[in-house]
């Protein structure tokens, strides 16, 4: 097992609100680890609308989704938070008391944290791969249907079907091609959004007879005990047939799913976490919820509300982390001690 990471605060989700929480905690000398299932920071802003303008961030008449994320990253730089990308927080266990909370947090990649506080900034939930609505697909998942490659070796000598037309589909077609016995790429049309050089590389392999390209859609899966034997394909010419294969990788983009948060012993209200409006703490002392994931009377799912929630939650986190420290209210404009932390004094 890997070493346990000990910290004061773990932030679940690196969306705009989780990022700003780093700032508010940092001013209070609290270091944070951020975990996000995405390979990058920014949550919805970066994943769903990077190029779109936002008009209601105070002080910014207009900023794009990605622009806001870039600015937040710059703003929290002085506090050098640790990012754990591509990992989903899976399990959470209380190992302390309500006066002195302590939690053990585990991700699906096996990283383990011991932390005094947890800030859930999970937004609309974790971004997860979309699952094709093919009957019985669950039985095959992680045995012969994969949405990501964790171990390339497990594809060695297999007949692999990759479905999709974007970068993920094309990248894995090219990466797995030398390992797999045979690769078939299936897409609904003969146009690919993926980077032109990978599309060209794929077309060359097809022309050389080294892999197959199929235009159609997947409608069924065949096999026993999760082991696939064939995929039912509806070709664009209307024909329906079975394609023998051992592994399928569907790439249909991401969708937000609440995910494991439902199993953490927190009160839930229609997939949202109820909090108080003084500290934005959940029913479990030491666990906070801020941003789109929380709910309280009058809640607005706005970035600016999430920022406010981060500031107030940080005050209470401070009391758990430094129970004996006197709380002094200070402005970043005039406090030299805050400015030192920001690296500007």
Ligand X SMILES: Cc1cc2nc3c(=O)[nH]c(=O)nc-3n(C[C@H](O)[C@H](O)[C@H](O)COP(=O)(O)OP(=O)(O)OC[C@H]3O[C@@H](n4cnc5c(N)ncnc54)[C@H](O)[C@@H]3O)c2cc1C
Q: Which SS3 state, helix, strand or coil, does residue 153 take?
A: helix
CA 341/CA 337 separation, integer angstroms: 7
Contacts for 329 with CB less than 8 Å, ≥ 6 apart: none
Least Cβ distance, residue 49 to ligand X (angstroms)? 4
Q: Cα 59 vs. chain centroid, distance in angstroms?
A: 28
Least Cβ distance, residue 50 to other proteins (angstroms)? 9
If one asks whether residue 188 binds other proteins (CB under 8 A), the answer comes out as yes
Only segment of 9-17, 157-165, 275-283, 319-327 that touches ligand X (CB under 6 A): 9-17
Strands 227-235 and 212-224 turn out to be antiparallel
Least Cβ distance, residue 2 to ligand X (angstroms)? 18
If one asks whether residue 81 binds ligand X (CB under 6 A), the answer comes out as no
If one asks whether residue 25 binds ligand X (CB under 6 A), the answer comes out as no
- Restricting to residues 160-179, which ones interact with other proteins according to CB under 8 A? 164-166
**H/E element, 172:** helix 167-176
If one asks whether residue 130 binds other proteins (CB under 8 A), the answer comes out as yes
CA 13/CA 34 separation, integer angstroms: 7
Distances (CA, A) of 235 to 52, 80, 187, 191, 213: 36, 52, 10, 15, 11
Least Cβ distance, residue 36 to other proteins (angstroms)? 17
Find tokens 């779109």 and name the residue.
52
Q: Which does 306 bind (CB under 5 to 8 A by kind): ligand X, other proteins, none?
A: ligand X
Fill in the DSSP letter of residue 331.
-
Least Cβ distance, residue 139 to ligand X (angstroms)? 24
If one asks whether residue 200 binds other proteins (CB under 8 A), the answer comes out as no
CA 147/CA 153 separation, integer angstroms: 16
CA 320/CA 103 separation, integer angstroms: 12
If one asks whether residue 279 binds other proteins (CB under 8 A), the answer comes out as no
Contacts for 36 with CB less than 8 Å, ≥ 6 apart: 13, 14, 15, 18, 43, 83, 84, 85, 86, 87
If one asks whether residue 291 binds other proteins (CB under 8 A), the answer comes out as no
Of the chain, the end-to-end C-alpha distance in Å amounts to 42
Nearer to other proteins, 24 or 47 (CB): 47
Can you give the C-alpha Rg of the chain in angstroms?
23
- Restricting to residues 35-64, which ones interact with other proteins according to CB under 8 A? 47-49, 52
Q: Which does 45 bind (CB under 5 to 8 A by kind): other proteins, ligand X, none?
A: ligand X
- Residues touching ligand X: how many (CB under 6 A)? 37
If one asks whether residue 6 binds other proteins (CB under 8 A), the answer comes out as no
Find tokens 């190992």 and name the residue.
95
- Residues touching other proteins: how many (CB under 8 A)? 23
CA 186/CA 109 separation, integer angstroms: 30
If one asks whether residue 216 binds ligand X (CB under 6 A), the answer comes out as no
| Residue 319 phi, psi dihedral angles, 5° rounding | -70, -35
If one asks whether residue 268 binds ligand X (CB under 6 A), the answer comes out as no
Only segment of 32-40, 130-138, 217-225, 227-235 that touches ligand X (CB under 6 A): 32-40
CA 342/CA 28 separation, integer angstroms: 11
Sole binder of ligand X in the list 303, 310, 312, 317 (CB under 6 A): 303
Least Cβ distance, residue 98 to ligand X (angstroms)? 23
- Restricting to residues 41-60, which ones interact with ligand X according to CB under 6 A? 43-45, 48-49, 54, 56
Nearer to other proteins, 256 or 311 (CB): 256
CA dihedral for 276, 307, 94, 7, sign (positive or negative): negative
- Contact set with ligand X (CB under 6 A): 12-18, 35-38, 43-45, 48-49, 54, 56, 88-89, 121-127, 259-261, 291-292, 301-304, 306
- Contact set with other proteins (CB under 8 A): 47-49, 52, 124, 130-133, 164-166, 187-189, 191, 193, 217, 219, 252-253, 255-256
């Amino acid at each position: 097992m890997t070493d346990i990471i000990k910290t004061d605060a773990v932030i679940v989700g690196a969306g705009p609100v989780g990022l700003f929480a780093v700032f508010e905690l940092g001013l209070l000398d609290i270091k944070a680890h951020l975990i996000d299932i995405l390979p990058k920071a920014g949550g919805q802003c970066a994943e769903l609308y990077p190029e779109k303008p936002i008009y209601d961030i105070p002080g910014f008449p207009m900023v794009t989704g990605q622009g806001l994320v870039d600015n937040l990253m710059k703003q929290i730089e002085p506090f050098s938070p640790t990012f754990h990308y591509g990992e989903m927080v899976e399990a959470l266990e209380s190992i302390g008391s309500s006066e002195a909370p302590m939690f053990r947090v585990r991700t699906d990649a096996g990283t383990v944290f011991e932390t005094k506080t947890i800030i859930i900034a999970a937004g609309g939930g974790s971004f997860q791969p979309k699952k094709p609505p093919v009957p019985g697909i669950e039985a095959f998942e992680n045995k012969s249907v994969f949405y990501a490659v964790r171990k390339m070796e497990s594809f060695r000598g297999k007949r692999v079907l990759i479905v999709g037309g974007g970068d993920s589909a094309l990248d894995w077609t090219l990466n797995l091609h030398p390992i797999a016995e045979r690769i078939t790429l299936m897409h609904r049309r003969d146009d690919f959004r993926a980077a032109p050089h990978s599309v060209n590389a794929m077309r060359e392999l097809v022309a050389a007879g080294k892999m197959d390209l199929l235009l159609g859609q997947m409608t069924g899966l065949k096999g026993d005990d999760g082991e696939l034997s064939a995929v039912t394909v509806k070709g664009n010419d209307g024909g329906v047939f079975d394609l023998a294969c051992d592994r399928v990788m569907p790439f249909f983009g991401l969708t937000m799913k609440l995910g494991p948060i439902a199993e953490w012993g927190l009160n839930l209200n229609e997939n949202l976490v109820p909090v108080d409006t003084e500290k934005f703490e959940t029913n479990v002392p030491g666990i906070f919820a801020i941003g789109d994931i929380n709910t309280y009377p009058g809640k607005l799912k706005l970035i600016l509300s999430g920022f406010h929630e981060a500031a107030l939650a940080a005050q209470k986190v401070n009391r758990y982390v430094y129970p004996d420290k006197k709380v002094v209210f200070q402005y970043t404009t005039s406090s030299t001690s805050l400015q030192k932390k920001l690296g500007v004094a």
